[in-house]
Amino acid sequence: MKTLRVNMDRLEVKWESVLPEYERLGGRALIAKILLTEIPPQCEPLGPDNKLIFAPGLLAGLPSLTSAGRLSVGGKSPLTQGIKEANAGGMAGDKLGHLGLKAIVVEGQPTEGGLYLLHVTAQGASLLPADQLSGLGNYETVARLQERFGQDVAIVSIGPAGEMGLAGAGVAVTDDLTKQPGRQAARGGLGAVMGSKRLKALVIDDADAPPLPLSDESLFRRSAKRFARELIESPKTGKEGSMHRFGTVAVMGPVNEIGALPTRNFSAGQFEGFENICATRMREVTLARGGQIGVRCMAGCVIRCCNVFVDEQGETIVSTLQYETLGLLGSNLGIDSLDDIARLNRVCNDLGVDSIEMGASLGLAMEADLAQFGDAKSAMALLEQVKEGTVLGRVLGNGAAVTGRVLGLERIPVARGQAFPAYDPRALKGNGVTYATSAMGADHTAGNTIGARKTIDPLGCEGQAELSRGLQRVAAMLDMTGLCLFARPPVVADPQLMVDLINGRYGWGWTVKSLEQAEDDVLRTEREFNRRAGFTEAHDRLPEAFSREPLPPHNTVFDVPDAELDSVFSAL
Amino acid sequence: MVEIRIFGALWKHLAPRLELDLEGCNVSVANLIAHLDLDPSEVGIVTVDGRQSNLDEILPADSRVCIFPPMFGG
């Protein structure tokens, strides 16, 4: 395995052997360790001392293993001012893994300006001028790069939002089926960090790379086969399961029913327009128009939870339209048209902004009467301002916390500066615990409690800290190995299966205890980075408005005691 | 009358909306799932009047029950 260091001061690339202390780390775990070791935690996120890291998981690049090719992107976040890892499906993670790359670490900033792309192949890597891509959206950027480098490469890119340094900017990744930049390592403003390095895109070509070695081929292949079989047979992830038939939007039903669906800037938990944007409706509309359901984002994925959402003429609007986007750009804005939400999503993807963060910003703008709830045309006009870089557009593009403060609002749905995903923490208190305590800020993928345990009442406080802690550990395990969140049932039910996959690949002789230790190390390392960056337990709280303002229909507030929140990490 | 709503992949077994008269029957959520002939492993969250329920919860008359297949958030 190798590490590719990209020095943007000198515009040089350098291949390195993997340092011993990084050898057994991958994805999110490696990012945490590199950031803690190599950057000053109090550095300016968009300054030269921050580093931007692209790291596939430990199990990436192996065609015989399904659903393990997610790409982790990391750095110090301009949105949260803390450590950040965001990951995406698509083609890039597996291709970097196949190339034997542990990580690409981008350092420094060019002194002369200019814009660059990094071309990585089995033969080497080079930085190429990319001024001709300046200001282009992700879709046009990808189209031009595919014209130049072919359709089989993976492309990681930023849009204008990243070039402008907006804290809501994400990093786009092309997917396996449509080859479009529809997968996003969206959260935390890492697109702005990439823009600050003047890096417009990565082009990753793994043609001619040899297969990765397996330490114990028999163990690995047996374990990979069992893993795939269990996913295929699972009622959650199999062909008859909700993920395949409906995709992530399947969760909207229970979230709306328990009253946790963000509605009109988190002022209610049930949306009267739910039936128009729910899973059933989306499936009906998509299939009737000739769109696709059950689409994969990574080669060989057996879950295939994505979709291609098309207009009435059958032309693709966006792929994939996900639950979080439907929540934040839909119900949270009072918009109940799938077409309108899909078009807003497309513009977000093209601009290269996180649809969660933008949905929360737009919800606040509507609360402040800059547009009316339900008015998709005005929401689109506000997004256009982000694209044009007007003052208001820059406010919105810098995220919900900035937008809420500028507009003088009180109910600002953020934790650690990052917008809440589509689960109101007053009706799903376990997620509130995760939002408050995760080093990532409000991030559902850091420990999502919806449906996780039937014995814990989402409206109550009991058991939420312990539940969140357990799920945060699971998330750490998935994010260090590159596994998709939805591929977790087999390895959660039997962690030895994950251990066997790792030992089959590397021969490290890990045990379940080693795996648990590795999970805890990720969380501790991230926590330590944030401590050195200036965070204390006082930051592990949600905004006061969510403890004071009852959420209809259950009229509950977020009231998990501070001691419970503090116990999440003190018990680690 | 108990209003029952069935979601997503469970439609292969049942219609999306049902009504059952359970007045005075002392029926639990688990009893209802058995009565509907649903495989418990194919059932995820069940809500009663908008609150996540336990399997042993007794259904009030005139309640609204939603039965969801297993699923993830994300």
B69–chain A Cβ distance below 8 A for any pair: yes
Interface contact flag, A455 B54, Cβ < 8 Å: yes
> Smallest Cα–Cα separation from A255: which of A434, A414, A465, A451?
A451
Picking from B66, B69, B73, the nearest residue to A450 by CB comes out as B73
In this prediction, residue A283 carries a pLDDT of: 96
Residue of A nearest to B7 (CA): A253
CA atoms within 13 A on the CB side of A6: 28
Task: Tell me the mean pLDDT in the region A427-454.
Answer: 95
In this prediction, residue A320 carries a pLDDT of: 95
Give the distance from residue B22's alpha carbon to the nearest chain A alpha carbon, in angstroms. Answer: 22
Confidence band (pLDDT; 50, 70, 90) for A240? confident
Task: Tell me the mean pLDDT in the region B55-72.
Answer: 91
In this prediction, residue B61 carries a pLDDT of: 87
Among A184, A240, A242, A325, most B C-beta atoms within 10 A, so best to mutate, is: A242
Query: A236: which chain B residues are within 8 Å (Cβ-Cβ)?
Result: 44, 69-72
Q: Could you report the per-residue pLDDT of A274-300, keeping only the tens digit for each?
A: 999 999 999 999 999 999 999 999 999
Q: Which amino acid is at A17?
A: S
Residues 6 or more apart whose CB falls under 8 angstroms from that of B23 comprise: B1, B61
Residues 6 or more apart whose CB falls under 8 angstroms from that of B19 comprise: B1, B2, B3, B4
Query: A454: which chain B residues are within 8 Å (Cβ-Cβ)?
Result: 45, 52, 54-55
Q: Return the ∠ at Cα A519 (arms to A515 and A524), rounded to 5°.
A: 140
Interface contact flag, A448 B72, Cβ < 8 Å: yes
Residue of B nearest to A326 (CA): B74
Query: A280: which chain B residues are within 8 Å (Cβ-Cβ)?
Result: 7-8, 16
In this prediction, residue B74 carries a pLDDT of: 66
Interface contact flag, A254 B70, Cβ < 8 Å: no
What gap in Å lies between CA A318 and CA A446, rounded to an integer? 25
Interface contact flag, A253 B66, Cβ < 8 Å: yes
Q: Mean of the per-residue pLDDT values for chain A?
A: 97
What gap in Å lies between CA A148 and CA A151, rounded to an integer? 9
CA atoms within 13 A on the CB side of A63: 6
Answer whether residue A434 shows pLDDT above 70: yes
Q: Could you report the per-residue pLDDT of A300-354, keeping only the tens digit for each?
A: 999 999 999 999 999 999 999 999 999 999 999 999 999 999 999 999 999 999 9
Give the distance from residue A455's alpha carbon to the nearest chain B alpha carbon, in angstroms. Answer: 6
Interface contact flag, B50 A242, Cβ < 8 Å: no
Query: A248: which chain B residues are within 8 Å (Cβ-Cβ)?
Result: 72-74
B28–chain A Cβ distance below 8 A for any pair: no
Interface contact flag, B72 A243, Cβ < 8 Å: yes
Query: A245: which chain B residues are within 8 Å (Cβ-Cβ)?
Result: 8-9
B34–chain A Cβ distance below 8 A for any pair: no
Query: What's the length of chain B?
Result: 74
A281–chain B Cβ distance below 8 A for any pair: no
A271–chain B Cβ distance below 8 A for any pair: no
What gap in Å lies between CA A118 and CA A183, rounded to an integer? 19
Confidence band (pLDDT; 50, 70, 90) for A453? confident
CB atoms within 10 A of CB A113: 8
Task: Tell me the mean pLDDT in the region B43-55.
Answer: 93
Interface contact flag, B74 A240, Cβ < 8 Å: no
Among B12, B14, B52, most A C-beta atoms within 10 A, so best to mutate, is: B52
DSSP A332: G
In this prediction, residue A165 carries a pLDDT of: 98
Answer whether residue A427 shows pLDDT above 90: yes
Interface contact flag, B66 A242, Cβ < 8 Å: no
Interface contact flag, B74 A458, Cβ < 8 Å: no
Give the distance from residue A301's alpha carbon to the nearest chain B alpha carbon, in angstroms. Answer: 17
Buried b (16+ CB within 10 A) or exposed e, A181-214: bbbbbbbbbbbbbbbbbbbbbbbbbbeebeebeb
A569–chain B Cβ distance below 8 A for any pair: no
Q: Considering only A195-209, A241-255, A421-435, A494-508, which range has the smallest mean pLDDT? A: A241-255
Picking from A240, A242, A457, the nearest residue to B52 by CB comes out as A457
Contact between A109 and A11 under an 8 Å Cβ cutoff? The reply is no
Buried b (16+ CB within 10 A) or exposed e, A551-567: beebebbbebeeebbbb
Give the distance from residue A271's alpha carbon to the nearest chain B alpha carbon, in angstroms. Answer: 13
State the complex-level ipTM: 0.93
Note if the pTM is more than 0.90: yes
What gap in Å lies between CA A169 and CA A206, rounded to an integer? 27
CB atoms within 10 A of CB A23: 14
Contact between A233 and A303 under an 8 Å Cβ cutoff? The reply is no
Answer whether residue A180 shows pLDDT above 80: yes
Find how far residue A431's CA is from the centre of its chain. 16
B26–chain A Cβ distance below 8 A for any pair: no
A463–chain B Cβ distance below 8 A for any pair: no
Query: A324: which chain B residues are within 8 Å (Cβ-Cβ)?
Result: 74
Picking from A257, A455, A486, the nearest residue to B72 by CB comes out as A486
Interface contact flag, A253 B68, Cβ < 8 Å: yes
